[in-house]
Amino acid sequence: MKKPLALVAPWPRPRWMVLSDAHWARLAERLELVLHEGSPAPDELVERVLPDVAFVIGQPALPAERIARAPRLRAVVNVKGNWEPTIDYAACEARGIPVLSIAPAMAPAVAEAALAMALDLARGITPADRAFRAGCERWGIAGNLDAFLLRDAPIGMIGFGNLGRELRPLVAPFGGRIRVYDPWLPAGHLRDAGVEACPLDEVLAESRVLFVLAGVTTENDGFLDRAKLERIRPDAAVVLASRAEVVDFDAFVALAEAGRFRAAIDVFPQEPVPPDAPVRKTERILLSAHRAGGLPASYARISEMLVEDLELLLDGLPPVRLQRAQARTASIARSR
């Protein structure tokens, strides 16, 4: 019997970043793999495989009319981590074709980085190292007057999706209350997940350590505006780890630089950050060049999740590792 056909077109990622050699070989036992990397899959290639393709791994455009011409299509896997607007989610849903995303693969790495940055802000690790190199370090308590412990500190999370769920067990042993604002998740769900549902203003005003972990949609762009940011408690450490678009970025930078709160930033409205962007001139903000998620361990994880879920699909079972798009939420999620 002929093996089902999979189109692997991972651009802008290279193949190795989404499928290791070992996993590629493992998949090749059950799938006929057609690879195109280095550029977007040419239309000609996509059109050619449509009649036979069972799995599309990558981001080729899949409007309704193409889906209609792919009678054997069983799943689409986005390997960028965003919900691309070039896929017709409703058309997939109507055929029972899951559209999957590797977004959860990055979450453990982002969660660890978020904790690292929170601890850095609480203890001044980075500025203390800088001062030491400059020969002006301060010893012991003299350098620690505004240092604080995470132990028993109230934690806040804005957004409790993949990132929040990975971060929660890492901050739990510090023992503080964990307040969450996430308008997509009801109170009982959050209680069962070990956190407390709270209004946004309470999360802002009460959290000593505040993690901004919300994804950006067409509806929540900039919802952390200046007025909201001014509610943050003055001694807070704030980690911006998900998407820059959810905050009024200029206000965020200005407030942090003015000492209104401490801040670490991993995501920026424009990346790379332009040479003359004000954020480059900050003294107080901990800066990270979108490094929280993309490291070798995350790519190994993408590969494992991909091969495990494809094997489940080949066995007629539901995928359990990749994240499944819901037509409505995918439609409001904002890609980059």
Give the contact letters, 232-261, x = binds to a copy of itself (CB under 8 A), - = no: ------------------------------
Residue window 138-157: x/- pattern of binding to a copy of itself, with contact defined by CB under 8 A: xxxx-xxx-xxxxx------
**Among 26, 233, 284, 290, contact with a copy of itself (rule: CB under 8 A):** 290
Q: Which of 234, 284, 264 is nearest to 115 (CA)?
A: 264
**Chosen residue from 95, 228, 231, 284 binding a copy of itself by CB under 8 A:** 95
User: Can the peptide bond before residue 296 be classed as cis, meaning omega within 30 degrees of 0?
Assistant: no
Q: Supply the minimum distance, in Å, between the C-beta of residue 174 and a copy of itself.
A: 7
Binders of a copy of itself among residues 157 to 176 (CB under 8 A) are 169-170, 172-175
Tokens representing 169 are 């067990």
Nearer to a copy of itself, 98 or 156 (CB): 98
Cβ pair 77, 322 in contact under 8 A: yes
Residue identified by tokens 């980690």 is 239
Should residue 225 be labelled a site residue for a copy of itself when binding is judged by CB under 8 A?
A: no
Restricting to residues 176-205, which ones interact with a copy of itself according to CB under 8 A? 184-189, 194
- What is the smallest separation between the CB atom of 249 and a copy of itself, expressed in angstroms? 16
Nearer to a copy of itself, 86 or 144 (CB): 144
- Are 185 and 215 a contacting pair, CB within 8 Å? no
Residue 226 or 324: the one with the smaller Cβ distance to a copy of itself is 324
Tell me, residue by residue from 291 to 330, as one string, x for binding to a copy of itself by CB under 8 A and - for no binding.
x--xxxx-x----xx--xx-xx---xxx-xx----xxxx-
User: Which residue in this structure is represented by tokens 């799943």?
Assistant: 75
In three-state secondary structure terms, 12 is coil
**DSSP-derived pairing of the beta strands 196-197 and 178-181:** parallel
**Alpha carbon of residue 274 to chain centroid:** 23
The burial class, CB within 10 Å (0-12 / 13-18 / 19+), for 241 is buried
Kindly state the number of chain residues that form the binding site for a copy of itself, as judged by CB under 8 A: 83
Minimum CB distance to a copy of itself, residue 191 (Å): 8
CB atoms within 10 A of CB 87: 23
- Per-residue contact track with a copy of itself, 49 to 88, x per CB under 8 A? ----------------------------------------
Q: Side chain identity at 8, as an amino acid letter? A: V
Cα 275 vs. chain centroid, distance in angstroms? 25
